[in-house]
Amino acid sequence: MDIGLALPTTVPDVTGPKLLEWARRADRLGFSTLGVLDRIVYPNYESLLALTAAAAVTERIKLATTILIAACRDSALLAKQVATLDHLSGGRLVLGLASGDREDDFAATGTPFAGRGKRLDTVVRELRTAWSEASPGLSPSRRPPLLIGGHSTAAMRRSARVGDGWIGGGSSVSRYADLAARVRAEWRRHGRTEAPKLLALSYVALGPGGREQAEGYLSGYYAFVGDKAAMVVSGVATEPGRLRELAHGYAEAGCDELILLPCSADPGQVDLIADAALN
Task: Give, for 52, the enclosing helix (H) or strand (E).
Answer: helix 47-56
User: Residue 137 — very low, low, confident or very high, per pLDDT cuts 50/70/90?
Assistant: low
Burial state string for 128-165 with b = 16 or more CB within 10 A and e = fewer than 16: eebbeeeeeebbbeeebebbbbbbeeebbbbbbebbbb
Q: What share of the chain is helix, strand, coil (3-state, %, to 5)?
A: 50, 15, 35
First to last CA, the chain: 13
User: Residue 166 CA to chain centroid, in angstroms?
Assistant: 10
Burial of 226 (0-12, 13-18, 19+ CB in 10 A): exposed
Whole-number pLDDT of residue 138:
62
Amino acid making up residue 169: G
Residue 141 has pLDDT above 90, yes or no: no
How far apart, in whole angstroms, are the C-alpha atoms of residue 224 and residue 218? Answer: 11
- In this prediction the pTM is 0.96
**pLDDT 10s digits, 200-214:** 999 999 999 999 999
Whole-number pLDDT of residue 177:
95
Q: How far is CA 48 from CA 23, 159, 262, in A?
A: 14, 22, 18
Whole-number pLDDT of residue 69:
97
What beta strand segments (E) does 80-209 contain?
Answer: 93-98, 146-149, 165-169, 197-204
User: Residue 248 CA to chain centroid, in angstroms?
Assistant: 20
In sequence order, which residues have a C-beta less than 8 Å from that of residue 52 and are 6 or more positions away? 84, 85, 88
DSSP letter, residue 188: H
Whole-number pLDDT of residue 135:
59
**pLDDT 10s digits, 186-243:** 999 999 999 999 999 999 999 999 999 999 999 999 988 888 788 898 999 999 999 9
**pLDDT 10s digits, 72-82:** 999 999 999 99
Residue 139 has pLDDT above 90, yes or no: no
How far apart, in whole angstroms, are the C-alpha atoms of residue 154 and residue 81? Answer: 27
Residues 139 and 166: beta-carbon distance below 8 Å = no
